[in-house]
Amino acid sequence: MNTKIVVAGPRGKMGAEAIKMITNEPDFQLVACIDRKTAENGVDAHSHLNVPSFEDAEECFTEIETDIFVDLTVPDVGYVHTKAALEQNIRPVIGTTGFTDEQLNELSTLAWEKKIGCIIAPNFAIGAVLMMKFSKMAAKYFSDVDIIEKHHDNKLDAPSGSAIKTAELIKDRRTSKKQGHPNEKEVLPGARGADFDGMKIHSVRLPGLVAHQEVLFGSPGQTLSIKHDSYNRDSFMEGIKLSIKEVQNLEELVYGLENIL
């Protein structure tokens, strides 16, 4: 039996790749898409997909028999979509980052009450998840760390969800400390990056980049660099495919792909 999937954000680069992956996977079936703009100049913008398109998520979930909802949009819209999916007993796989802690807590509570699996992943690239896990291991031995994340210039949130997730994992293992000279002064505000529990996060946004992150650890006489690069969006598809399969076995919200590997 095919897994019936709805995708939100089909016109985006990630959404287009996800639809291509779903279409090529024999056990998956694309049944609809959700987009704020279903028509252009009076013409269906998604007619080539041969599935219905909706501007309203609740309408889609009510009318279309769906097993899995994949969201690759933006935080505010993604939150509304995810909540609507859970309320309709549809299992979400979310690649949208930038949710607030309050939103994550609300979605987690809803998934737990309904006993429905939900996966929210800051990064679907397997290599990026391993980078985070290795960084958490290293943090036990290196308390000084900077995170440098680089993305395309159309990314809306900074720091990236991956960088914040990495910092959270490091915080769990790292001895908390404020880095740098106690009397250091930023001649230009923001020069030292965002502060997260004393460690620094730096965001780069440039055309030509896709998704890149380096975690730099330092201690007397040595440094350690853990780096991952996604050169195209194919790198995220194995993680989305895995999440679509694994979310069907869950009865709660899982945040981070590392928790299902």
Helices (H), 95-236: 101-114, 126-139, 161-173
Question: What kind and span of H or E run contains 201?
Answer: strand 199-205
How confident is the model at residue 116, as a pLDDT? 96
In the predicted structure, residue 49 carries a pLDDT above the cut 90: no
83 in active site = no
Q: Which CATH architecture has domain 3-120+234-259?
A: 3-Layer(aba) Sandwich (3.40)
Q: Which pLDDT tens digit goes with each residue over 54-68? A: 999 999 999 999 999
pLDDT tier for residue 75 given thresholds of 50, 70 and 90: confident
Instruction: Detail the residues annotated as belonging to a binding site for NAD(+).
Output: 9-14, 95-97, 121-124
Annotated active-site residue in 20, 133, 155, 245: 155
Q: Which pLDDT tens digit goes with each residue over 94-146? A: 998 778 999 999 999 999 999 999 999 988 999 999 999 999 999 999 999 99
Mean pLDDT over 184-196 rounds to 94
Q: Which pLDDT tens digit goes with each residue over 193-245? A: 999 999 999 999 999 999 999 999 999 999 999 999 999 989 999 999 999 99
How confident is the model at residue 157, as a pLDDT? 87
* pTM recorded for the entire structure: 0.83
CATH number of 126-230: 3.30.360.10
Distance CA 174, CA 182 (A): 19
How confident is the model at residue 41, as a pLDDT? 47
Region for 115 from its dihedrals, namely left if φ exceeds 0, alpha if ψ lies in -120 to 50, beta otherwise: left
Annotated active-site residue in 81, 136, 150, 151: 151
155 in active site = yes
Q: Are 104 and 97 in contact (CB under 8 A)?
A: no
Helices (H), the chain: 13-24, 57-63, 75-87, 101-114, 126-139, 161-173, 237-246
Distance CA 258, CA 118 (A): 14
User: For residue 194, how far is the Cα from the chain centroid?
Assistant: 20
Mean pLDDT over 66-87 rounds to 95
In the predicted structure, residue 72 carries a pLDDT above the cut 80: yes
How confident is the model at residue 43, as a pLDDT? 47
Region for 255 from its dihedrals, namely left if φ exceeds 0, alpha if ψ lies in -120 to 50, beta otherwise: beta
Q: Which pLDDT tens digit goes with each residue over 12-38? A: 889 999 999 999 999 999 999 999 876
Mean pLDDT over 73-99 rounds to 93
Task: For the chain, give every domain's residue range.
Answer: 3-120+234-259, 126-230
How confident is the model at residue 97, as a pLDDT? 76
